[in-house]
Structure 1
């Protein structure tokens, strides 16, 4: 009986594995859904749509952007984490859903370290520390000294509790030994308006948003909150260079698929994204948006980076006692 059962199951098993291998070899044979876990119109959505167009040419199938916003990127990310691992539903992830939120939310529904198959790290958008010109500081050293001498005088704006602009200030306080007050807003726009108006003292925001106001003199740049300088402001040193060793709160972008996606499909998507990112027009467009491309574009590189970012932000969040549910 056992031999008979084995004889009956063997062809079925072979058919299943053969079908999976064939699907991976022929991939893609239908449109690919690129999920953006944020509303349309934002910088992440714009970047995803530009890459989707380029990826369509690389794959020979339409790449459709679908926005599934909510809960700081958790809704769309959870949707992809539980999608069929066949390469037809992938996520355009950022620092929040792929590194930070696992430590902010108690019931996230997925784990960025185990729920996804990493495909490629696109790059990062540098943040910059800017002050309202009324603050009497022109360097990191002067800012820290003033903050310590006047512990109740300064405040920093963020786009909301748990946002990278919030955690940037938390990490700054921890590393600099300051106690600058956090003022959360509903988005970058309102936060920037109050910073320009002098209702708050400073903010950590992306360089693209801050650049026009820096050039006009409406905001004073103190330093890049990233590991390297930016071509947009090449003479502005990083906070790391100025003494805040290891300080880096850049927002990163990465593409992932549901865990269990066959390796040939992951390799196909990695190759297609890498080719799109090497296109001169795409490179120029990303540079104009202030995005610095990642040097390591392998799936293994993204996996290692996500793990390190999860560890980094879990320590910051735990130390500060921050929780969003």
Structure 2
């Protein structure tokens, strides 16, 4: 599946686009003593992935009629939590709230990774993706992507990321590859330190999620130059994409999806998928996700997530090979 088809999977058509959703089940009544479902978040508490997972757990539990408990198992770019789910009992009671890293990219970044996403997971359904925004310090004399590229060829510029191998690093590496630039990468230990140095003018630019950038853009200390997905973000609807500004096909964002251990029975996965689709059909849940910048997937099937994982793996493998990119 090519990048153009990715736009079809995560377009603006909405949850019911192309009639791809199967009929939604009504929420089940909770059964006393029902065994909880463990929703593993492979990152630390308090971050955007954790926040979204905890909101989804409430709606998912209503649909399943049993508690859904979030457990954070952070480390190694998401690999620790992902491996835990891959090795868990395949009974549908342990699922991973995965992202691009553990589901597609990390296998190329961590040579010692002990699980294979394509073999050790059974996809349940995609959730969607959150774009990054290319943002520069307000003192940088570039008002758009072409001006930034031209400036980078006259002056030495640097971009910060939340760490080697992070999505913000990959976004910058892809930008350099497609734009023919050599903007220096400065890795930080987290988004916060990178953003602090951007605000202080120690680095010229970052690729960060739209919600993190938004207050600083609105405050005038940071200038947003482009959205990193193929389509614009509803959070910053007037901001053109990087692809619109001369780098056709540029697409660097984080996707999210639910997976279970590989041998989980189809019936158990379909029960999870149906409850998940029901949760996303709720206006309150959907509204919360969109307020976080989430572009919700219109096709909520295991096949859609499987195809997405394969496409993202192939696409980022090329970038990682070409740039000799390494994780921390």
TM-score by length of 1: 0.89
Identify which of 38, 41, 50 aligns with 2:46.
41
Per-residue CA deviation, residues 173-219 of structure 1 (Å, 9 max, x unaligned), is 00000000000111000000000110000000000000011111111
> With CA pairs under 8 Å and 6+ residues apart, which has the higher RCO, 1 or 2?
2
Distance 1:154 1:249 in 2: 20
Change (3 A) 1:237 1:257: same
Check conservation: 2:161, 2:194, Cα contact below 8 A. yes
Secondary structure at 1:149 match in 2: coil
SS of 1:54 mapped into structure 2: helix
Q: Helix, strand or coil for the counterpart of 1:78? A: helix
Report how far residue 288 of structure 1 moved.
1.2
1:144 matched residue in structure 2: 149
CA distance in 2, matches of 1:227, 1:278: 24
Alignment pair present for 1:238 and 2:229: no
Q: Is the 8 A contact 2:164 2:326 kept in 1?
A: no
- 1:205-262 per-position Cα deviation (integer Å, ceiling 9, x unaligned): 0000000111111111111011110111111110111111111111111000000111
8 Å contact from structure 2 (residues 34, 67) kept in 1: no
- Of 156, 159, 163, the residue aligned with 1:160 is 163
The SS at the match of 1:146 is: helix
Structure having the larger proportion of residues in helix? 1
CA distance in 2, matches of 1:323, 1:226: 23
Structure-2 residue corresponding to 1:176: 179
Instruction: State yes or no: 1:216 paired with 2:190.
Output: no
Choose from 126, 130, 141 the match for 1:125: 130
Tell me, in whole angstroms, the C-alpha distance in 1 between the residues paired with 2:170 and 2:253: 11
Q: Tell me the SS of whatever aligns to 2:241.
A: coil
Where in structure 1 are there 5+ consecutive unaligned residues? Answer: 1-26
How many equivalent residue pairs? 297
Aligned twin of 1:279: 282
Larger radius of gyration, structure 1 or 2? 1
2:311 alignment counterpart: 308
Structure 1: how far apart are the matches of 2:143 and 2:318? 30
Q: Which sections of structure 2, spanning at least 5 residues, go unmatched?
A: 1-30
Match of 1:21 in 2: none
Distance in 2 (CA, whole Å) between partners of 1:295 and 1:113 is 22
Structure 2 counterparts to residues 77-116 of structure 1, below 5 A:
77-116=82-121
Q: Distance in 2 between matches of 1:58 and 1:101?
A: 32
**Secondary structure of the residue that 1:113 maps to in structure 2?**
helix
